[in-house]
Amino acid sequence: MAFPPASHSWLPWWASVGTRPVRPFWPRTRWRLANPPAHPPTLYLTFDDGPTAVATNPILDLLDRYDARATFFVIGHHVEAFPGRMRRIVAAGHAVGNHTFTHVDAWRTASSTLIGEIERTAQAIEAHTGCAAPLVRPPYGHLTPALCRWAKREDAHVVMWDVMPADFQRGASPTSVARFTAAHARPGSIVVLHDNPMTEPVTLGALDAILRWGHARGWRFAALPPSFE
């Protein structure tokens, strides 16, 4: 494990490398995938918090330009507000995951409320796209044992990440986010970005740079599969 950089922030390093020792203790979680055999190095880009009026379409346009696929962890009440964008996400071959109905913090919410939010979001996704969404990402990455037990019972998966370039962080720039991603991405890595008006200027510039970087190296950008071995 590389020593954390002395640069402006420990957060991206902590969220990408520092949590590695505790990952095996959380059942039904996925932090990185095995690179599919016979495939070039594959990156799984994920976008949390959408769909949104501002960011979703430009993100989809960029992904289209590079023939890249990704996964959108959507908020249920945004799904109901922007069903057209949901349909565009699915029609373009991207995957959809569940990011709760109102972006609740699992560490401050009764587990029955959290599960209710996830189930309500799953219904909204299904109603507007016809797709089941067996992948769940808790807001803020806040795992709880109850969430993992629920995922096991429901044959769902909790999707975390191994690369968190922190596009939401004060001081983040397209260059810092793209550089962090390039430095930490490994074949099969799951990268967190945001479909969020607050991060949009940083995220779009970073996404363009990440796609260009990967494209030049023969990397493939894929949607997460609905299930894992």
Nearest CB to Zn ion, comparing residues 74 and 211: 74
Q: Exactly one of 139, 165, 188, 214 binds Zn ion (CB under 5 A); which one?
A: 139
Task: Tell the smallest beta-carbon distance from residue 193 to Zn ion (Å).
Answer: 11
Region of 93 (left: φ > 0; alpha: ψ -120 to 50; beta: rest) is left
49 binds Zn ion (CB under 5 A): yes
Q: Which residue in the list 48, 49, 162, 195 is annotated as catalytic?
A: 48
Nearest CB to Zn ion, comparing residues 21 and 170: 170
Which amino acid, residue 224? L
| Span interacting with Zn ion, options 27-35, 113-121, 125-133, 139-147, rule CB under 5 A | 139-147
Annotated catalytic, 208? no
Give how many residues touch Zn ion by CB under 5 A.
Answer: 3
Task: Tell the smallest beta-carbon distance from residue 49 to Zn ion (Å).
Answer: 4
Closest CA to 163 of 196, 206, 204: 206
Nearest CB to Zn ion, comparing residues 139 and 174: 139
Q: Which residue is nearest to Zn ion (CB)?
A: 48
Nearest CB to Zn ion, comparing residues 117 and 214: 117
* CA-CA-CA-CA torsion sign (32, 222, 36, 133): positive
Asked if 70 and 210 touch (Cβ cutoff 8 Å), the reply is no
C-alpha to C-alpha distances, 55 to 35, 62, 112, 202, nearest whole angstrom: 29, 11, 31, 11
Task: Tell the smallest beta-carbon distance from residue 187 to Zn ion (Å).
Answer: 26
Asked if 155 and 117 touch (Cβ cutoff 8 Å), the reply is no
Instruction: State how far the Cα of 121 lies from the Cα of 99, in Å rounded to an integer.
Output: 8
Q: Exactly one of 15, 28, 44, 48 binds Zn ion (CB under 5 A); which one?
A: 48
Task: Tell the smallest beta-carbon distance from residue 138 to Zn ion (Å).
Answer: 9
Annotated catalytic, 194? yes
C-alpha to C-alpha distances, 117 to 106, 126, 128, nearest whole angstrom: 10, 14, 17
Name the site residues for Zn ion (rule: CB under 5 A).
48-49, 139
Annotated catalytic sites, by residue?
48, 194
